[in-house]
Structure 1
Amino acid sequence: MAFSADELRVLRRALATALNPAPLQDDDVQDCLRLADSVDEAVREAGRERAFLLADLVRYRQALPGSLAGYLELLRDALAAGYDPGADDLAALRALRSNPAAAALLARCQVLAERSVRARLARVAQVRGRTAPVGVPSPVPRARLLALPGGRASDDGPRPDSSPGGPAKPAPKPPAPGERPVPKPSEVFPPRRRPVPPPPPEERAAG
C-alpha cells in the first residue's frame, strides 16, 4: 500500500497526536477521516484482487498441463500476496516436477505449507493452554463397573421368606442322597390330646 505525500503528512500528524494527546482542529479531524476511508477502500480493493487471483489460479490449475506457464505465474503472484499453498497445488506441482520451474516452485510451496501447518498447531496448543489450568492434569475418564452374574448383586436381592421388619430366614437345605431328613418338631413331640371328661353317674349306672 502506497501513500501520497499529503496522506503521509496526515498520517504523521495522527501518530503525533496519538503519542501526545492534544485537541485537533476541524481540518485535521477531517483529514484523518478521509485517510481512514482511503485505507478502508484500499483494503477492500486488495481483498477483491486477491479473490480474483485465487479464482484464476483454480481455473488454470484445472486446465493443467496445457496452462502450465500461466499457472506457475499466477501461483507466484499468489504466494507473494500471502497465499498458503493447498493440497491441490502441491499435487499439481508434483505431477509437473519434470519441469524445472515447477520443481523449484514445488520446493518453495512445501516449505510454506509446512510452516503454515506448524503455525496452526502452535495456535491450537496456545488456545488449549489458556483454557486448561496450569499444573492441573486433565481428568482421566472413569471406567464403568459391570456387575458379574453370581456375585453379591444376586445375594442382595429380596427373598420370598424375608420380612420387612426382620432378617431373612435361611432357606431349608435339601437332604443329601441316602441321608434321613431331619424330623420336624411336630413329629418328635406330637401334640397332647385333651382329656375326655368321664360320663355322668346316671349314664355310668345305666351301663
Structure 2
Amino acid sequence: MAFSADELRVLRRALATALNPAPLQDDDVQDCLRLADSVDEAVREAGRLRAFLLADLVRYRQALPGSLTGYLELLRDALSAGYDPGADDLAALRALRGNPAAAALLARCQVLAERSVRARLARVAQAGAPQPAPVGRLAPARQLRQARTRLLALPGGRAAEDGPKPPAPGGPAKPGPKPPVPGERPVPKPSEVFPPRRRPVPQPPPEERAAG
C-alpha cells in the first residue's frame, strides 16, 4: 500500500497526536477521516484482487499442461500475496517437475505447505491443552459439594455429640411427656370431655313404697 505526500503528512500528524494528545482542528479531523476511508477502500480492493487472482489460478491449473507459463506466474503472485499452496498445487507441480521453473516452485511450495501444517497443528494443540486455573479463583460448585459431603461424613465431632442417642437394648425408648409451653392451653383428658355416666339408683317395688 502506497501513500501520497499529502496522506503521509496527515498520517504523521495523526501519529503525533496519538503520542502527545492534543485538541485537533476541524480540518485535521476531516483529513484523518478521509485517510481512514482511503485505507479501508484499499483493503477492500486488495481483497477483491486476491479473490480474482485465486480464481484465475484455479482456471490455469485446470488447463495444465498447456497453461504452464501462466500458471507458474499466477502461483508466484499468489505466494507473494500470502497464499498457502494446497494439495492440488503440489500435485500439479509434481507432474511438471521436469520443467526447471516448476521444480524450483515445487520446492518453495513444499516448504510453505509444511510450515502451514505445523502452525495449524500448534494452534490445535494449544486450543486443546488444559488451561491452569488462575490464582484465587473459586473451585467449581461440584468440588465444593464433594468436599462438604466428605466433611459431613466424618465420624465423631459435634454431630455425634448433639445427635440423637441410639436406642437402648430391648426396643426403642418411649417418648417422655411433652413439656408445657407457656401460654398454650393444655389438651383436655378424655374423662374431662366425656364424663362417666352414673348408674341409676334402683327403686323399691310399688308395694313397699305404699307400705312405707
TM-score (normalised: structure 2): 0.59
Shift of 1:115: 0.7
Query: For 1:82, what is the secondary structure of its paired residue?
Result: coil
Q: Which runs of 5+ in 1 are unaligned?
A: 135-142
- The equivalent residue for 2:153 is 147
The alignment of Structure 1 onto Structure 2 pairs a total of residues equal to 195
Deviates more, 1:143-152 or 1:98-107: 143-152
Shift of 1:123: 1.9
Shift of 1:105: 0.2
Match of 1:174 among 173, 179, 186: 179
TM-score (normalised: structure 1): 0.61
Q: Write the deviation string for residues 13-32 of structure 1: whole angstroms up to 9, x where unpaired.
A: 11111111111111110000
Q: Is the 8 A contact 1:159 1:168 kept in 2?
A: no
Aligned-partner Cα distance in 2 for 1:203–1:116: 135
Aligned-partner Cα distance in 1 for 2:165–2:138: 53
Deviates more, 1:57-66 or 1:169-178: 169-178
Q: Write the deviation string for residues 134-160 of structure 1: whole angstroms up to 9, x where unpaired.
A: 9xxxxxxxx999999999999999999
- The equivalent residue for 1:61 is 61
Q: Is the 8 A contact 1:54 1:78 kept in 2?
A: yes
Query: CA RMSD of the aligned region, Å?
Result: 13.1
Change (3 A) 1:125 1:112: same
Aligned-partner Cα distance in 2 for 1:189–1:24: 102
Q: Is the 8 A contact 1:60 1:67 kept in 2?
A: yes
Aligned-partner Cα distance in 2 for 1:174–1:18: 83
TM superposition outliers: structure 1 runs of 4+ over 3 Å: 129-134, 143-160, 163-207
Aligned-partner Cα distance in 2 for 1:175–1:28: 90
Deviates more, 1:176-185 or 1:105-114: 176-185
Aligned-partner Cα distance in 1 for 2:124–2:139: 12
Q: Is the 8 A contact 1:147 1:153 kept in 2?
A: no
Change (3 A) 1:22 1:102: same
Identity %: 93
Aligned-partner Cα distance in 1 for 2:117–2:139: 23
Change (3 A) 1:178 1:16: closer
Aligned-partner Cα distance in 2 for 1:72–1:36: 36
Shift of 1:193: 50
Shift of 1:93: 0.3
Shift of 1:133: 13
Q: Write the deviation string for residues 30-88 of structure 1: whole angstroms up to 9, x where unpaired.
A: 00000000000000010111000000000000000010010000000100111110000
Query: For 1:131, what is the secondary structure of its paired residue?
Result: coil
Shift of 1:125: 2.4
